[in-house]
Amino acid sequence: MAQPAQAASNQGPALQVRTDPSQNAAVGAAQPQVEARHFNFFYGAFKALDDINMVAGEHQITALIGPSGCGKSTLLRAMNRMHDRTPGAHSEGQLLLNGQDINAVEDLVELRKRVGMIFQRPNPFPMSIFDNVAYGMQLGSQRVPQREIPDRVEQALHGAALWDEVKDKIRQSGLALSGGQQQRLCIARAIAVRPEVILMDEPASALDPISTYKIEELMFALEREFTIVIVTHNLQQAARVADQTVFLTMNPETRAGFVVEAGPTGDLFRRPKDQRTQDYITGRFG
């Protein structure tokens, strides 16, 4: 599916960059699904994000990369208002979902059904595989009718490429699965409610290489139906899976994160415009 290509840079390690022609053709045409405009974010008095401008296009995979602590997770979590639970967290500027301000949304439950999330560590609920997937469908004002749930669970498990592995033990605890299977179960749980956007915060960093590969494969399949925003510290991964990449770093004095450069993944990795991007992808940045 993804064609490996040699990175243009002679200085750094070779990077496989995604060169899927159909996807690249779509880049310019994609509708912005999530968009940040002059977005600032604060933990109390600490400014974690400074004047962020970025776009995640519809049915594209957008990667957020950058050094640890630059605010990738912060930006991602702002997209489904996970920060609402953090005392003192607040923001300025605009963060839009289909042109609508995410911070103005009143019904959080509906927002989170539209914007799902996958976490770094797989976090299945202490219940059966079936119940894990069914969980989200039974919540909120637009519940899935009970009789449709078994079909939807199966669909979601197919969608997460997990069905064949669990179809015989669907009533067993989700905690009994392997780490990679647990993560795909969480993906099934997220896609079961048919969100528009799926946020992934380093979804494979706790997994072994084979499980990681399976997740990446899965992302290509998911891309057709969902918009994906992924945070990763793994540059190869970003290069392999993302249509668009956003590179953030932080101000060395204030530690506030800001966007250095964003664009189609191939361009960003092969022809970075900014020296800081160049340094980062060639490994000079710590």
Partner 1 sequence: MARRNAILAQSIFFSAAAILVLSTGALVLFIGSTGLRVFSFISPASFFFGRSWDQNTQDFGVLPLLFGSLATTLVTLVISAPLAIAVSIFMVEIAPRPIRRIMRTAVELFASLPSVIYGLLGLTLVVPWLRDALHVGLGKGILAAAVVLVFMTQPTMVSIAEDALRSLPESLREGALAVGATRWQMIWRVLVPAARPGLLTAVILGMGRAIGETMAVQMVVGNITSRIPSNLVSGATTMPAAIVTQLPEATSPAHRAALIMVAFLLLVITLILIAGVRLATGGKSTKASTRRAVPAAQGGRPAAVAKLQGDKV
- Rule CB under 6 A: choose which of 15, 70, 96, 204 binds ligand ADP: 70
Find all residues with CB under 8 Å of 236, minimum gap 6, and list them: 15, 16
- Rule CB under 6 A: choose which of 59, 72, 113, 240 binds ligand ADP: 72
Q: Which does 179 bind (CB under 5 to 8 A by kind): Mg ion, partner 1, ligand ADP, none?
A: partner 1
Find all residues with CB under 8 Å of 38, minimum gap 6, and list them: 51, 52, 53, 92, 93, 94
Q: Which does 163 bind (CB under 5 to 8 A by kind): Mg ion, ligand ADP, partner 1, none?
A: none
Q: What DSSP letter does each residue of 34-77 carry, written as one string? A: EEEEEEEEEETTEEEEEEEEEEEETT-EEEEE-STTSSHHHHHH
Give the whole-angstrom CA distance, residue 46 versus residue 279: 27
Distance in Å, CB of 206 to partner 1, minimum: 10
Distance in Å, CB of 44 to partner 1, minimum: 14
From the DSSP assignment, how many helices (H) and strands (E) are in the chain? Answer: 11, 10
Cβ neighbours, 10 Å, residue 101: 12
Distance in Å, CB of 123 to partner 1, minimum: 4
Cβ proximity to ligand ADP, 198 vs 250, nearer residue: 250
Give the whole-angstrom CA distance, residue 236 versus residue 273: 19
Cβ proximity to partner 1, 57 vs 136, nearer residue: 136
Give the whole-angstrom CA distance, residue 198 versus residue 191: 8
Give the whole-angstrom CA distance, residue 130 versus residue 84: 29
Give the whole-angstrom CA distance, residue 176 versus residue 172: 8
- Rule CB under 5 A: choose which of 33, 60, 62, 73 binds Mg ion: 73
Q: Which does 121 bind (CB under 5 to 8 A by kind): Mg ion, partner 1, ligand ADP, none?
A: partner 1
Distance in Å, CB of 217 to ligand ADP, minimum: 25
Question: Does 203 contact ligand ADP by CB under 6 A?
Answer: no
Report the interface residues with partner 1, using CB under 8 A.
80, 82, 85, 109-110, 112-113, 116-117, 119-121, 123-127, 135-136, 139-140, 173, 175-179, 182, 186, 189-190, 193
Cβ proximity to partner 1, 21 vs 145, nearer residue: 145
Would you give the binding string for ligand ADP spanning residues 32-61, x where CB under 6 A is met? Answer: -----------x--x-x-------------
Q: Which of residues 76-95 bind ligand ADP (CB under 6 A)?
A: 86
Question: Does 255 contact ligand ADP by CB under 6 A?
Answer: yes
Q: Encoding tokens for residue 120?
A: 């770094």
Give the Cα-Cα-Cα angle 2, 189, 232 (nearest 5 degrees).
45
Binding residues for ligand ADP, rule CB under 6 A, total 12
Q: Encoding tokens for residue 281?
A: 């992808």
User: Residues 169, 170, 173, 174: what is their CA dihedral angle, to the nearest 10 degrees?
Assistant: 110
Query: Which residues of the chain form contacts with ligand ADP (CB under 6 A)?
Result: 43, 46, 48, 68-74, 86, 255
Contacts with Mg ion, residue ranges (CB under 5 A): 73
